[in-house]
């Protein structure tokens, strides 16, 4: 691989969207900062309720994690459901587990309702055991998920080899509720649908200040000003300070991906022929999927191209030796905001204001349901149906050091794997 490469999602998105910067002053019911899944889902819900909504995006819709991720629409979090209950308490934990179990339904319903051209495939995901010890982890997760009625199944290594096209994995947990999408196209499609519902969206409109004055939020951008009854900050790992609102510094993990050129059946017929998306049990997680054009897409923790590109190409060849020498046509990276317990947060930032962050690598389905729920709660004043309880403050200890720890760990794992 040589020369600068770009995001596959930018190159292949069938949905297009553009919006002008905010100019002038306006009063609205709800102002939303951030044009990712959370903000767009909130805007779509609020506009559908007849609210006057304006969404501000500092760059372009889907510029952050929403346009850079793997595109797996999962039912749940990295944490198994028992761990969610242990952290949040039984009642709150089971509520979140239930909400997220149904999250893929919402995503695929929105795609169908608004005719979003984002390559949706709902054939499930495979949580792959990267080593024999990974099978034990999957058995524990299987029992916890089946106890809650999830239609999941543990696959033996032989079936996994048939489904994936490689014998490198020792088992897998198949979740038929899940699926894959083209993630940037989904974000742009949500933006289009939101505008069609009457909301106003503005790109290239970074928020420079957000204050509470006279019973309203006053939000400033370089070109304009909003007065809003309610405010949702949905910026996650790409947050830009908007004083005096302060959000906690978050540990950040980079996630690197590469994509092959489109491969014909002679090379890729047996690789994920069923269209499942995959992620493994490794501490430094690896993802695997393919797109509608037949590209194989491999991802892994770590975002430094020079350190991780060599690992990714070697990893691809280890999994599929017959792909040695295949052209890598795209490579890109994005940031993941990681909370200490891997649970997302809804933080109160003032009267009528929330900030949502910390999806820890699970942004598509959780972001969609969290955004919709936040819009409903802000407009109604009722918080009982929010996915997690609202907190007034949050702190992540040693966020900068933990960011360095994550990146260093990923680099070391990849270097060791490259030598193996």
Give me the CATH number covering residue 349: 3.50.50.60
Structural domain total, the chain: 1
Q: Give the domain range for residue 269.
A: 8-419
The yes-or-no verdict on residue 306 having pLDDT over 70 is no
Percent of the residues in the chain that have a pLDDT greater than 70, as a whole number: 92
- Alpha carbons within 13 angstroms on the beta-carbon side of residue 130 total 14
Helices in 320-398 by DSSP H: which ranges?
Answer: 364-380
198 located within any domain: yes
Confidence at residue 2, expressed as pLDDT on a 0 to 100 scale: 44
- Where on the phi/psi map is residue 280: left (φ > 0), alpha (ψ -120 to 50), or beta? beta
Note whether 370 and 95 are within 8 A (CB). Answer: no
**Confidence (pLDDT) at 49:** 97
pLDDT (tens digit per residue) in 177-200: 999 999 999 999 999 999 999 999
CA pair distance 322, 315, nearest whole angstrom: 12
Domain contains 1: no
| 34-48, 89-103, 173-187, 302-316: least confident range | 302-316
Cα 113 to Cα 174: distance, rounded to the nearest angstrom: 27
Asked, for residue 383, whether it belongs to a domain, the answer is yes
Q: Is position 2 within any domain? A: no
pLDDT given at position 301: 82
Name the band, by pLDDT with cuts 50, 70 and 90, for residue 60: very high
At residue 394, the pLDDT reads 81
Q: What element of type H or E holds 14? A: none
Q: Per the domain annotation, does 230 fall within a domain? A: yes
Number of neighbouring beta carbons within 10 Å of residue 133: 10
Does residue 58 fall inside a structural domain?
yes
Nearest one of 246, 269, 257 to 348, comparing CA atoms: 246
For 327-346, write each residue's pLDDT tens digit. Answer: 999 999 999 998 889 999 99
Among 17-31, 32-46, 314-328, where is mean pLDDT lowest? 314-328
pLDDT at 413 over 80: no
Closest CA to 372 of 346, 348, 398: 346
User: Of 43-52, 192-201, 371-380, 400-409, where does mean pLDDT reach its minimum?
Assistant: 400-409
Q: How many CA atoms lie within 13 A of 291 on its CB side?
A: 25
pLDDT in tens, 114-160: 999 999 999 999 999 999 999 999 999 999 999 999 999 999 999 99
What's the confidence (pLDDT) of residue 338? 87
Assigned domain for 109 exists: yes
Mean confidence (pLDDT) of the chain: 92
pLDDT given at position 1: 45
Gap between the Cα atoms of 346 and 229, Å rounded: 18
Measure the CA–CA gap between 215 and 230, rounded to whole angstroms: 10
Q: Is residue 245 part of a domain?
A: yes
The pair of three-digit structure tokens given for residue 140, joined into one six-digit string:
């524990």
Averaged over 34-51, what is the pLDDT? 98
- Greatest Cα pair distance in the chain: 67
* Residue 420 pLDDT > 70: no
pLDDT at 353 over 50: yes
Greater model confidence, 217 or 360: 217
């Amino acid at each position: 691989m040589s020369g600068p490469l770009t995001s596959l999602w930018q190159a292949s998105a069938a949905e297009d969207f553009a919006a002008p910067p905010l100019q002038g002053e306006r009063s609205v019911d709800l102002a939303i900062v951030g044009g990712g899944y959370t903000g767009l889902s909130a805007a779509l819900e609020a506009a559908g309720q007849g609210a006057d909504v304006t969404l501000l995006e500092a760059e372009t819709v889907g510029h952050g994690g929403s346009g850079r991720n793997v595109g797996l629409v999962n039912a749940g979090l990295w944490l198994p459901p028992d761990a969610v209950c242990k952290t949040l308490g039984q009642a709150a934990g089971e509520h979140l587990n239930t909400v997220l179990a149904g999250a893929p339904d919402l995503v695929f319903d929105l795609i169908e309702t608004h005719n979003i051209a984002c390559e949706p495939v709902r054939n499930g995901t495979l949580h792959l055991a990267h080593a024999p010890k990974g099978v034990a982890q999957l058995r524990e997760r299987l029992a916890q998920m089946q106890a809650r009625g999830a239609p999941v199944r543990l696959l033996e290594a032989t079936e996994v080899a048939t489904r994936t096209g490689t014998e490198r994995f020792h088992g897998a947990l198949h979740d038929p509720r899940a699926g894959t999408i083209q993630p940037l196209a989904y974000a742009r499609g949500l933006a289009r649908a939101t505008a069609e519902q009457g909301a106003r969206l503005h790109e290239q409109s970074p928020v420079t200040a957000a204050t509470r004055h006279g019973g309203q939020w006053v939000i400033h951008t370089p070109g304009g000003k909003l007065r809003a009854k309610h405010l949702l900050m949905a910026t996650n790992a790409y947050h830009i300070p908007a004083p005096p609102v302060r959000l906690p510094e978050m540990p950040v993990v980079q996630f690197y991906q590469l994509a092959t050129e489109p491969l014909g059946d002679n090379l890729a017929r047996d690789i994920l022929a069923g269209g499942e998306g995959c992620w493994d049990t490794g501490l430094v997680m690896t993802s695997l999927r393919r797109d509608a054009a037949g590209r194989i897409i491999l991802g892994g923790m770590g975002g430094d191209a020079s350190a991780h590109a060599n690992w990714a190409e070697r990893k691809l060849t280890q999994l599929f030796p017959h792909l040695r020498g295949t052209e890598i046509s795209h490579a890109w990276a994005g940031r993941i905001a990681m909370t200490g317990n891997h649970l997302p947060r809804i933080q109160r930032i003032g009267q009528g204001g929330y900030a949502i962050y910390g999806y820890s690598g699970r942004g598509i389905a959780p972001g969609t349901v969290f955004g919709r729920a936040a819009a409903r709660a802000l407009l109604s004043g009722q918080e009982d149906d929010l996915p997690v309880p609202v907190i007034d403050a949050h702190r992540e200890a040693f966020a900068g050091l933990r960011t360095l720890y994550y990146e260093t760990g990923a680099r070391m794992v990849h270097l060791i794997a490259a030598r193996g």
